[in-house]
C-alpha cells in the first residue's frame, strides 16, 4: 500500500498544471484623449474641419479632444464618446492592446472611427497611446452633398491620453 501511495504522489507531482491564460485588465473609466493629425487626404472641397472633427471637443487652440466613458467586461469594450453620444465597441487583450471602433455620423457627414493602440498602467490611471483612423463620407456617388455609405477621404490621428 505504501508503494502505491508513493507512486500516486510521484505521478501527481510529475503532471504539471495546465497554463493559466492571463485575464484582460479592467480598463473601465473616463478617458480624455488628445488628437494630433498625422495624415489626411480630406480637402476642403470634400469635408470641412467641423465635418471631420464635429463629434469631438476642441481645445481653445483647435486641438481635437475626445472624451470616452469606457466599460470593460471580460475583454470586451464599449465606449460612449462625448459630446456626440456615439457608442463604439472593441476588445482589450491581456497585454493591454486594444481596439475600439464604430460609426459617429453628423447631420451632413458619415464617419467611421477606428482606434488601435495600447493601454498601460500609469499609477492609478491607464495611459493610452493609439492611432485613430476616421473615414469621412460627405458626398454621394455623383459628388453631390450627402453621405452615401462610401468613404470619400480618410484622416489619421495620433490619439493619446489617460483615464481612471
Tally the domains of the chain. Answer: 1
Please tell me the pTM assigned to this model: 0.85
pLDDT tens, 115-133?
A: 999 999 999 999 999 999 9
pLDDT of residue 144: 82
78 CB contacts (<8 Å, ≥6 apart)? 70, 71, 87, 88, 89
pLDDT tens, 43-94?
A: 888 999 999 999 999 899 989 999 999 999 999 999 999 999 999 999 999 9
Tell me the pLDDT band of 143, cut-offs 50, 70 and 90: confident
Q: From CA 77, how far away is CA 89, in angstroms rounded?
A: 5
Please state, in angstroms and as integers, the Cα–Cα distance from residue 41 to each residue in 45, 91, 153, following that order. Answer: 11, 28, 6
For 22, the domain range is 2-163
Amino acid at each position: 500500500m505504501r508503494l502505491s501511495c508513493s507512486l500516486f504522489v510521484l505521478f501527481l507531482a510529475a503532471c504539471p498544471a495546465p497554463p493559466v491564460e492571463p485575464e484582460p485588465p479592467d480598463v473601465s473609466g473616463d478617458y480624455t484623449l488628445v488628437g494630433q493629425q498625422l495624415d489626411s487626404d480630406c480637402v476642403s472641397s470634400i469635408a470641412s474641419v467641423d465635418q471631420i472633427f464635429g463629434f469631438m471637443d476642441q481645445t481653445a487652440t483647435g486641438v481635437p479632444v475626445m472624451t470616452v466613458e469606457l466599460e470593460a467586461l471580460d475583454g470586451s469594450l464599449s465606449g460612449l464618446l462625448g459630446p456626440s453620444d456615439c457608442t463604439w465597441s472593441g476588445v482589450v487583450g491581456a497585454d493591454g492592446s486594444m481596439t475600439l471602433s464604430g460609426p459617429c455620423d453628423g447631420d451632413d457627414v458619415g464617419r467611421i472611427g477606428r482606434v488601435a493602440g495600447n493601454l498601460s498602467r500609469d499609477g492609478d490611471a491607464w495611459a493610452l497611446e493609439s492611432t485613430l483612423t476616421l473615414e469621412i463620407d460627405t458626398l454621394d456617388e455623383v459628388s453631390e452633398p450627402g453621405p452615401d455609405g462610401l468613404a470619400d477621404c480618410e484622416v489619421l490621428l495620433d490619439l493619446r491620453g489617460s483615464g481612471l
